[in-house]
């Protein structure tokens, strides 16, 4: 009992609740973080992790419940107050000005008037101390994603916080960059600072965290020492049930080449887009080629040229089922038997305000004109046939929805994604190109989507999956390629590919660039 | 303290139907306040403004004549606005359409042919569409803001009409009045029924409303219009071209505005004058929104706005107030319509204190 005082948690929440409309995003959350520990906050997308930390950081007001700091109740009304209390935060999506230097970006986030030279000096010192090499005078636009994250970390360290919150910090990092980050976290811990580490990656959590709190549907479903758990027991807490095992067995011998990309280059369309350079890729019937890579290395640009939303000048650069397709639009490519699933669900793959039936027509109006349209040039939409097909898709993919034909935006991310993937699968595409098939999708829906992709390949289609999720890539791919700064490595069989090798390729060490190749070999 | 608009999670279906009626009610209440402060009896003023024009057969015909251009233009604008193209220049397209349609009866005066009227209508539609093609081209090719270009072209059209009527097309037998020749009989748009003045412009308006309602509701083209209006990216994914849609929307609405122009000139005025429109092209914007961009709703809204024109004239005579009241009522109506629509989608929240949320990250 005497120890009570010293054992008081650094931060504690009691019954913390946040209600958005009818949704209880956080429902009576009890969480306690001890001084000097790395505490994991685990949960699927939409479990309420981000809402919880936004309340801790003063971005959102709690609807009910309270926060205790070192045993005393506090209200955190703004990020400024959070920083003054001793809480720092590194967001998943960086808020940096590309045109400014590192030091200037740091200065912008500081409260009060500190001369920029002092900030530079301090930032340089901190970055050395914590193994986060940074040049304060560099422009943010020239920095890699990992370096940008370091700015955010240094920025929060400047406030000398006792608790640092990191929101999905490794989602944008290569495995090697992630290792560096973990070393920094260990240093912070050794100094007695606490870290709240938000992630859905079980391996990382097991590797670096002392304790874990698991959230599901806004509620705490478990608190544990992750090292005492197995990945599957953690996953059970996160998902609330067994996740269906994916069976990749049975992908037979690949058949004829269905989609072939040769020497494809495309200039960048805007200063923030990536130029594609000399892309070669061919995918045969019955195989899944996965394209791994860190976000923002040309994935969406590659998707756009494969789908035909952006045409390329050289018609022969893309051949689909033997036909030159480079100058074809997306509709013509669909008529050749292609299906496409873009990354962004809202406003790209689907029109949020429109019902599911309308969103079915969106991608299939011409490829299925025989069933969905009538009246010849009038182009009348057969609402009956469309409704029937929408129902069939929802049943096949187990899409949970409210009402018969709700607006696409009212579905949860996972259910909408199942519908969007199902919409293409329903017509048995010969070639399917998918960008981030399970991004932000709960584990149950993700395994269903992955299984569906494998089944499609088994039935003799060619599938291209662009994904940042390495677990997913290894789970489903027959061959794996890596995209980095708009260049694609040549695909290698999944059976011989390793995570280390992917990590090197992600960092830009391509075959053929002599020294890099040597390093890649060395890494094996 | 500051005022925030917060998006509502669910918007009430009931109120989105009721909103135009609430807006009308609020306009009337504002009218009462206005008349009282002018020292007029509000009941009799509102009566002469909104009811009296409906009590006589001849003024019902006037109503249809005034509603015809409003409906025709607004139906075209609804295609534009639904596809996210902000054509504010219908007034100019109306004028250019009217001029293009008047080439035959004015320049080729005396040409006797049953083809006269159909050719006039076609010329007017081409003229209006061509004039609308300018802002469309500028938007599609140069990414120019179509609100500005289409609006500025209105003034160009007005001055062009003014110059033409005073100059090259002035009636040689017209005692130097700035007017063109009176159209010959075969260039006059016939009445729908013999006993009243309502001409075929009103018929065109109803047909256009029905056709576009059908297109919007049942066809792939209508679907394309709404998809591109809500998300250009999703539209590209669907294989629709947003550039082609810019042209489509502007050409349709320009053609309908041109048709409205020639119908007005040939059906109601009978010649070209320096001013041929009391702002139909602008009032039609209110009509389009009051009708919730639904062609059938626009028919009703067109009749209501036409009533404000008639009421304004009646109120000048019977209670002696300026005809500016017409514009005032139209402005109030637009204000309340947009206000009601905003409050359906958002709730107002007063925030006290200066805490800056979320921006300091």
User: pLDDT tens, position by position, for chain A (524 residues)?
Assistant: 344 445 678 999 999 998 876 667 888 999 999 999 999 998 776 678 888 988 999 888 888 888 999 888 998 888 888 888 899 988 877 778 888 888 888 888 776 777 888 888 888 888 888 877 788 888 888 777 778 888 888 888 888 899 999 988 877 777 778 888 888 889 889 988 999 998 877 778 888 899 999 888 788 888 888 888 877 777 777 766 655 666 555 566 788 899 999 999 998 877 667 899 999 999 999 999 999 987 778 899 999 999 999 998 888 999 999 999 999 999 999 999 999 999 988 899 999 989 999 999 999 999 888 889 988 888 899 999 999 999 999 999 888 887 888 889 888 778 899 999 999 999 999 999 999 998 777 777 888 899 999 999 999 999 999 998 888 888 899 999 999 889 999 999 988 888 778 877 877 665 544 344 434 444 44
Q: Which two tokens stand for residue A323?
A: 């036909």
DSSP codes of every residue in A370-419: HHHEESGGG-EE-HHHHHHHHHHHHHHHT---SSSS-BGGGS-HHHHHHH
- Backbone CA torsion sign across B153, B156, B157, B158: positive
Q: Do B284 and B156 reside in the same domain of the chain?
A: yes
Note whether residue B93 is domain-resident: yes
Q: Do B93 and B164 reside in the same domain of the chain?
A: yes
Q: Do B97 and B219 reside in the same domain of the chain?
A: yes
Q: Do B4 and B133 reside in the same domain of the chain?
A: no
* CATH 3.40.50.300 domain span(s) along chain A: 4-239, 257-337+429-522
CATH superfamily of A4-239: P-loop containing nucleotide triphosphate hydrolases (3.40.50.300)
- CB atoms B219 and A381 under 8 Å: yes
Nearest to A348 among B221, B233, B239 (CB): B233
Q: Which residues of chain B make contact with A380, given a CB cutoff of 8 A?
A: 218-220
Q: Is B94 exposed, middle or buried (0-12, 13-18, 19+ CB in 10 A)?
A: buried
Q: Do B245 and B346 reside in the same domain of the chain?
A: no
Q: Do B99 and B161 reside in the same domain of the chain?
A: yes
Q: Which residues of chain A make contact with B355, given a CB cutoff of 8 A?
A: 77-78
Note whether residue B49 is domain-resident: no
Q: Which two tokens stand for residue A279?
A: 């892309």
Helix (H, G, I), strand (E, B) or coil at A165: strand
State whether residue B16 sits within 8 Å of chain A by CB: no
How far, in whole angstroms, is CA A414 from its chain's centroid?
13
Range of the domain at B110: 67-320
Q: Do B264 and B169 reside in the same domain of the chain?
A: yes
d(CA B286, CA B87): 13
Q: Do B36 and B74 reside in the same domain of the chain?
A: no
- CB atoms A362 and B237 under 8 Å: yes
Q: Which residues of chain A make contact with B10, given a CB cutoff of 8 A?
A: 21
Note whether residue B134 is domain-resident: yes
Q: Do B228 and B121 reside in the same domain of the chain?
A: yes
**Distances in whole angstroms, Cα of residue B159 to Cα of each of B120, B154, B276:** 22, 9, 12
Residues in chain A whose Cβ is within 8 Å of chain B: 20-22, 57-60, 77-80, 89, 91, 95, 109, 307, 309, 329-331, 334, 340, 342, 344, 347-354, 358, 361-363, 365-366, 373, 375, 378-381
Q: Do B216 and B285 reside in the same domain of the chain?
A: yes
| Alpha carbons within 13 A on the beta-carbon side of A123 | 29
d(CA B314, CA B288): 25
Q: Kindly provide the b/e burial profile for residues A366-382, where b requires at least 16 CB atoms within 10 angstroms of the residue's own CB.
A: bbbeeebbeeeeebebb
Q: Count residue pairs from A and B with Cβ separation < 8 A.
A: 87
d(CA A453, CA A70): 50
Q: Do B275 and B218 reside in the same domain of the chain?
A: yes
Q: Do B5 and B99 reside in the same domain of the chain?
A: no
For residue A295, give how far its alpha carbon lies from the nearest alpha carbon of chain B (Å). 20
- CB atoms A330 and B357 under 8 Å: no
**A257-337+429-522 under CATH 3.40.50.300, yes or no:** yes
Note whether residue B61 is domain-resident: no
For residue B111, give how far its alpha carbon lies from the nearest alpha carbon of chain A (Å). 38
Beta-carbon contacts of A216 under 8 Å, excluding residues fewer than 6 positions away, are A43, A44, A47, A237, A238, A239, A240
- CB atoms B223 and A365 under 8 Å: yes
Note whether residue B56 is domain-resident: no
Note whether residue B57 is domain-resident: no
Strand order in the sheet with A163-167: A87-90, A163-167, A194-199, A38-42, A211-216, A219-224
Over A173-207, what HEC string results?
A: CCHHHHHHHHHHHHHHHHCCCEEEEEECCHHHHHH
CATH of the domain at B310: 1.10.3470
**Chain A residue with Cα closest to B225:** A362
Note whether residue B360 is domain-resident: no
Task: Tally the domains of chain B.
Answer: 2
State whether residue B7 sits within 8 Å of chain A by CB: no
- CB atoms A362 and B360 under 8 Å: no
Q: Which residues of chain A make contact with B219, given a CB cutoff of 8 A?
A: 375, 378-381
């Amino acid at each position: 009992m005497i120890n009570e005082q010293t054992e008081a948690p650094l931060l504690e929440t009691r019954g913390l609740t946040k209600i958005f409309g009818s949704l209880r995003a956080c429902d009576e959350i009890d969480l306690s973080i001890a001084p000097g520990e790395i505490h994991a906050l685990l949960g699927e997308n939409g479990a309420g992790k981000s809402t919880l930390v936004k309340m801790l950081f003063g971005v959102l007001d709690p609807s009910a419940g309270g926060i205790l700091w070192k045993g005393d109740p506090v209200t955190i009304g703004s990020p400024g107050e959070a920083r003054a209390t001793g809480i720092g935060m590194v967001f998943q999506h960086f808020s940096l000005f590309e045109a400014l230097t590192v030091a200037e970006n740091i200065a912008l986030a500081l409260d009060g008037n500190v001369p920029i030279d002092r900030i530079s000096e301090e930032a340089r010192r901190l970055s050395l101390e914590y193994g986060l090499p940074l040049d304060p005078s560099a422009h943010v636009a020239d920095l890699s994603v990992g370096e940008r994250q370091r700015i955010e970390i240094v920025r929060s360290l400047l406030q000398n916080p006792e608790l640092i919150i990191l929101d999905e910090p490794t989602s944008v990092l290569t495995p090697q960059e992630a290792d560096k980050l973990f070393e920094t976290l260990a240093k912070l811990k050794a100094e007695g600072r606490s870290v709240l580490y938000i992630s859905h990656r079980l391996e990382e959590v097991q590797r670096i965290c002392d304790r874990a709190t698991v959230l599901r549907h806004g509620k705490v479903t478990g608190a544990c020492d992750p090292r005492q758990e197995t990945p599957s027991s953690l996953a059970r807490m996160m998902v609330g049930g067994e996740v269906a095992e994916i069976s990749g067995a049975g992908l037979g011998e690949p058949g004829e080449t269905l989609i072939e990309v040769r020497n494809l280059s495309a200039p960048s369309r805007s200063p923030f887009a990536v130029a594609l350079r000399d892309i070669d890729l061919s995918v045969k019937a019955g195989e899944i080629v996965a394209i791994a890579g860190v976000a923002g290395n040309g994935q969406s640009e590659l998707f756009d040229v494969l789908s035909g939303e952006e045409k390329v000048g050289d018609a022969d650069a893309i051949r689909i089922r033997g036909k030159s397709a480079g100058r074809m639009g997306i509709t013509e490519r669909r008529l050749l038997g292609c299906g496409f699933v873009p990354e962004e669900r809202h406003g790209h793959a689907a029109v949020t305000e429109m019902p599911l039936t309308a969103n079915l027509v969106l991608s299939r109006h011409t490829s299925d004109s025989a069933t969905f349209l009538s009246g010849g040039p009038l182009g009348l939409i057969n609402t009956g046939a469309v409704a029937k097909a929408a129902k069939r898709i929802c049943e096949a993919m187990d899409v949970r929805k409210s009402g018969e034909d709700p607006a696409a935006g009212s579905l949860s991310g996972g259910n909408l994604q199942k519908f969007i993937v199902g919409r293409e699968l329903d017509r048995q595409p010969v070639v399917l190109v998918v960008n981030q098939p399970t991004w932000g999708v709960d584990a149950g829906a993700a395994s269903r989507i992955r299984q569906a992709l494998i089944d499609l390949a088994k039935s003799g289609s060619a599938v291209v999956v662009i994904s940042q999720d390495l677990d997913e890539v290894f789970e489903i791919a027959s061959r794996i390629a890596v995209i980095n700064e708009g260049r694609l490595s040549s695909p290698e069989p999944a059976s011989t590919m390793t995570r280390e090798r992917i990590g090197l390729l992600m960092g830009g060490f391509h075959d053929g660039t002599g020294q890099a190749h040597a390093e890649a070999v060395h890494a094996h | 303290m500051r005022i925030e608009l917060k998006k509502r999670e669910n918007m009430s279906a009931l109120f989105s139907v009721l909103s135009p009626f609430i807006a009308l009610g609020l306009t009337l209440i504002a009218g009462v306040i206005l008349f009282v402060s002018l020292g007029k009896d509000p009941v009799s003023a509102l009566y002469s403004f909104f009811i009296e024009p409906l009590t006589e057969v001849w003024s019902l015909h006037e109503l249809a004549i005034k509603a015809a251009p409003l409906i025709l233009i607004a139906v075209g604008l609804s295609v534009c606005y639904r596809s996210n193209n902000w054509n504010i220049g219908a007034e100019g397209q109306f004028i250019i359409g009217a001029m293009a349609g008047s080439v035959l009866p004015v320049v080729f005066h005396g040409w006797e042919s049953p083809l006269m009227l159909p050719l006039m209508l076609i010329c007017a539609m081409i003229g209006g569409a061509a004039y609308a093609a300018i802002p469309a081209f500028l938007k599609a090719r140069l990414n120019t803001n179509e609100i500005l270009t289409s609006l500025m072209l209105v003034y160009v059209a007005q001055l062009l009409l003014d110059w033409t009527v005073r100059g090259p097309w002035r009636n040689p037998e017209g005692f130097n009045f700035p007017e063109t020749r009176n159209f010959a009989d075969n260039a006059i748009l016939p009445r729908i029924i013999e006993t009243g003045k309502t001409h075929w412009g009103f018929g065109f308006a109803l047909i256009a409303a029905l056709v576009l309602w059908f297109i919007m509701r049942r066809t792939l083209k209508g679907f394309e219009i709404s998809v591109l209006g809500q998300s250009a990216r999703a539209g590209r994914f669907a294989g629709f071209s947003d550039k082609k849609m810019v042209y489509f929307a502007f050409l349709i609405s320009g053609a309908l505005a041109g048709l409205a122009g020639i119908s007005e000139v040939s059906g109601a005025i009978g010649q070209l004058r320096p001013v041929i429109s009391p702002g139909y092209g602008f009032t039609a914007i209110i009509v389009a929104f009051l009708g919730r961009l639904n062609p059938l709703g626009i028919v009703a809204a067109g009749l209501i706005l036409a009533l404000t024109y008639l009421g304004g004239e009646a109120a000048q005579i019977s209670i002696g107030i300026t005809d500016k009241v017409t514009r005032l009522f139209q402005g109030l109506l637009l204000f309340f319509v947009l206000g009601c629509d905003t409050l359906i989608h958002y709730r107002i929240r007063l925030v006290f204190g200066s805490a800056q949320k979320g921006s300091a990250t």
